[in-house]
Amino acid sequence: MVFDVIPLGVGSAIPTRTRHLAGALVRREGRNVLFDCGEGTQLQLVRGGLARGPLDAICITHLHGDHLYGLPGLVTTLALLERTDPLTIVGPTGLRDVMSAMPGLKNDWLPFDVTYRELSEDFEHEVVFEDDAVTIEARPIEHRVFCAGFRYQEKTRPGSVDGEAARAAGITEGWQFEALKRREAVTLADGTVVEPDGLVGPPRPGGAFAYVLDTTPCENGRLLAEGVDLVLHEATFTEEHGARAADVGHSTARQAAEVARDAGAKKLLLTHFSARYADPAPLVAEAREVFPNTQAAEELQRYEVRR
């Protein structure tokens, strides 16, 4: 099981010549989920050679422009591409009104259906998207305005069948292998009962990714990142500007590292860098003092999550 996390923008508030605004794409077996959609997101998708068509869901953390203003343009492009598949858009209450106010973006004007999953300010935890392979859950995090973080989780898959041992036990048909995978006993034509014990390995847990922007360090951020293979966490400032970070509802690199450490995450990617840091090296160095497996997220780089 493998999926890719591709940061599309790692800047904060204002784009620069080298950094775009917030967005990250998760790509799994030809299906995509987008987290945030700052201005310029669809241009980054084009630059990265990333298909916009197979987009199942878009998850918006909050209604600040650097996380949202690319969304109307992207949905318009999907319409121009004659998309017909339905699309789920997740975000705070009010997102539907923002989108419906834009010319051409009401549901009855689009060639595809949009389902809005709006999160109220008093929500605590919700599964906001699910298909046969993954779930996406949301929790409120702590910013100047209402904001949600997300966890993308592959579902646990059945254990693998030892094909050679199963055939030796008399298993020959596809449906019999599938039954063993479900840990069901199989009765052969001669009445022999073949049990799955010893023939089927343990269940295989899926990979997990957490998207935690914009926020001060908080318990819900830790819960979203608990045990994940990769967490993309904002690190707008170094500790030198910790007071500023607290004032504007952001995290320092050290605080992001503490969240990753306390959550038992395997790898931390820092993002949402203030323009004052032309080079994110000081942020990475600060975080590595707490959580060594830290990198600065690079735009259009593919970070593989494998279990």
What is the per-residue burial (b if ≥16 Cβ within 10 Å, else e) of 71-104? Answer: bbbbbbebeeeebeeebbbbbbeebbebbeeeee
Nearest to 70 by CA among 94, 97, 101, 35: 35
Binding residues: 62, 64, 66-67, 143, 214, 272
For the annotated binding site for Zn(2+), the residues are: 62, 64, 66-67, 143, 214, 272
Residues 234/256, Cβ–Cβ less than 8 Å: yes
- Residue 195 has phi, psi (to 5 degrees) of -90, 150
Residues facing 2 on adjacent strands: 306
Is 131 marked active-site?
no
- Which of helix, strand or coil describes residue 272? coil
Interatomic CA distance for residues 153 and 129, integer angstroms: 10
Residue pair 153/137 in contact (Cβ under 8 Å)? The answer is yes
Rounded CA-CA distance 212/272 in Å is 10
The catalytic residue among 66, 131, 229, 247 is: 66
Closest-CA residue to 57 (of 149, 1, 128)? 128
Task: Give the span between the Cα atoms of 117 and 140, in whole angstroms.
Answer: 14
Rg (CA), the chain: 22
HEC assignment per residue over 236-257 = CECHHHHHHHHHHCCCEHHHHH
Enzyme catalytic residues? 66
